[in-house]
A and B are shown apart, each in its own frame.
Chain A
Amino acid sequence: MSILVLADLHEGQLAGATAHVVAAAQAIGGDIDVLVAGDGVQAAAEAAAKLDGVSKVRVADNTVYAHQLAEPIGALLVELADGYTHVLASASTTGKNVLPRLAALKDVSQLSDVLGVESADTFLRPIYAGNAIATVKSDDTLKVITIRTTGFDAVGSSGSATIEAVDVVVENSQSSFVKEELAKSDRPELGGAKVVISGGRGMGNGDNFKLLDGIADKLGAAIGASRAAVDAGFVPNDMQVGQTGKIVAPDLYIAVGISGAIQHLAGMKDSKVIVAINKDDEAPIFQVADYGLVGDLFEILPELESKL
């Protein structure tokens, strides 16, 4: 078996997701290469070379690969995929954007959001927003797979893989980058944070989300939100946790003023410990919470912050 992992980049640096995808590759078994494609990505390549279990890092460093546009990265993967039995990427917006192109051009299916490996050809993946788990077997000669990172613990970074430049340069005249508006934050990224504190409609307005800041600072937590809070315009959509937002599985998830709609639970129910703070003691969130605290969040949050 020979596996190619497409590295995830965040502002040119190696994103945490890649260490989880390499762990999934280890569960499949075989030689693991990592492809780092972008513009000015030597540092990311060096970080990828340290991931445990990686034999070789292949670096495609060219302006055509800037911003991970689907057309050039897809074409690059098509050029490089021969000789591999599996091509993996995280189920990030980049992996989801690019990998189906490779699958289609190689005339194979893609398995999306894989969260468990049974064998080199049989995998577990969520369907119906995680309300059912399917076991699927692929008889395609090339298996193209996106990985749900919460399903695999990240590998360590004490490795020393070789780094090799890829000189394949593809043409792209169809798509071009215009602009990017990324939320700036000193907090950990939602997808990879050990602790997540999320607010829902119960927060009342966007300003009140500041009540979560102090707690997040003390716990080193990322801040999330329910779809209801996003739809109400309290916070931007990239903070959304749920079926239609980010899927998270931190060690500790604190849901504040969130009722617990199925769509929210789909995004956080695999967290190790769930705490719910809500004034309605009938709220469905309490059915999944390990620890529930019924009360007024506007009194509880300041008290929690001062006592942590």
Chain B
Amino acid sequence: MKVLVAVKRVIDYNVKIRVKADHSDVDLTNVKMAMNPFCEIAVEEAVRLKEKGVATEVIAVSVGPKAAQEQLRTALALGADRAIHIETDERAESLAVAKLLAKVVEEEQPGLVVLGKQAIDTDNNQTGQMLAALTGLPQGTFASEVAVDGDKVNVTREIDGGLQTIALTLPAIVTTDLRLNEPRYAKLPDIMKAKKKPLDVKTPADYGVEVASKVSLLKVESPAERKGGVKVASVDELIDKLKNEAKVL
């Protein structure tokens, strides 16, 4: 079966973000960008399924500006076979991305779609669930284990308070949590080879999908800074402060 994997270009997770002076958004000029960490886990899972002989082909897809092709090339270097770039400079929100991915699912008919559970920029945690709803396919979100078994897949999910295992009929949608796997690094020869792998460029219009959303971003602010307090010298002083100053004991 084919496995489709979605990747998003986001700010590198090590970068400390700055809010623009006019509070219109976060400042992304000259900032290091990378593949969203949860998407790296998704790519890794797809590639492992191919290595196990479960997947026959891994297709990476990304919605975003031209530069998102860098992240698709990374996915190709990590082991994806081909890539689809749906190019747009508009701020594509979860619903629009899910609609576009649904069109790709319709075209490619994958047995499994793997996505990161959320992107570390907008922190929405929606796209996989929306894609499942739009395609009418079952979903296994926040996966820490994915086991394909014939025409079913068992997904172990990280839920509040523990783990839940569910069985889904295939085709299905899976979103990755952190402990699903540890992504590999791309090797130089693979990076070179990735440059020759096929990468199709499309636009949202090719799929007849409107990217504009009814949600507008009015303002972005830095959160209230928390100030450091005092150092105490002993356990006795700590207990005293907590009882008499902070009044939390």
**Do these two chains interact?**
yes
Residues of A within 8 A of B (CB): 10, 67, 69-71, 74, 92-94, 96-105, 107-113, 122, 126-140, 173-183, 189, 191, 195, 219, 236-238, 244, 246, 251-252, 262, 269, 272-275, 281, 286-294, 300, 303-304, 307-308
Contact present for A101 and B133 (CB under 8 Å): yes
Docked pose: A287 CA to B140 CA in angstroms: 39
Contact present for A103 and B126 (CB under 8 Å): yes
Contact present for A100 and B94 (CB under 8 Å): yes
**Is B215 an interface residue, CB under 8 A from the partner?**
yes
Contact present for A182 and B161 (CB under 8 Å): yes
Q: Which of B78-86, B151-159, B189-197, B198-206 contacts A (4 or more CB under 8 A)?
A: B151-159
Docked pose: A182 CA to B159 CA in angstroms: 9
Contact present for A139 and B214 (CB under 8 Å): yes
Docked pose: A238 CA to B132 CA in angstroms: 26
- Give how many B residues have a beta carbon under 8 Å from the other chain's beta carbons: 74
> Which residues of B (172-208) have their CB < 8 Å from a CB of A?
172, 178-179
Contact present for B130 and A100 (CB under 8 Å): yes
Contact present for A304 and B235 (CB under 8 Å): yes
Provide a sorted-by-A list of 13 A–B residue pairs whose CB atoms are within 8 angstroms. A71-B139, A104-B133, A108-B95, A109-B215, A132-B17, A135-B218, A138-B215, A175-B166, A177-B164, A191-B160, A273-B242, A291-B229, A293-B232
Docked pose: A293 CA to B140 CA in angstroms: 44
Contact present for B248 and A133 (CB under 8 Å): no
Q: How far is the CB of A221 from chain B (nearest CB, A)?
A: 11
Q: Which residue of B lies closest to A110 (CB)?
A: B126
Q: Which residue of B lies closest to A179 (CB)?
A: B165
A104-B133, A128-B17 known; A292-B220 Cβ under 8 A: no
Contact present for A132 and B166 (CB under 8 Å): no
Interface string of B19-48 (1 = CB under 8 A from A): 100000010000000000000000000000
A244-B178, A291-B230 known; A273-B215 Cβ under 8 A: no
> Please, which residues of chain A bring their CB within 8 A of the CB of B249?
219, 252, 308
Q: Which residue of B lies closest to A97 (CB)?
A: B141
Contact present for B239 and A307 (CB under 8 Å): yes
Q: Which residue of B lies closest to A180 (CB)?
A: B164
Q: Which of B59-67, B103-111, B115-123 contacts A (4 or more CB under 8 A)?
A: B115-123
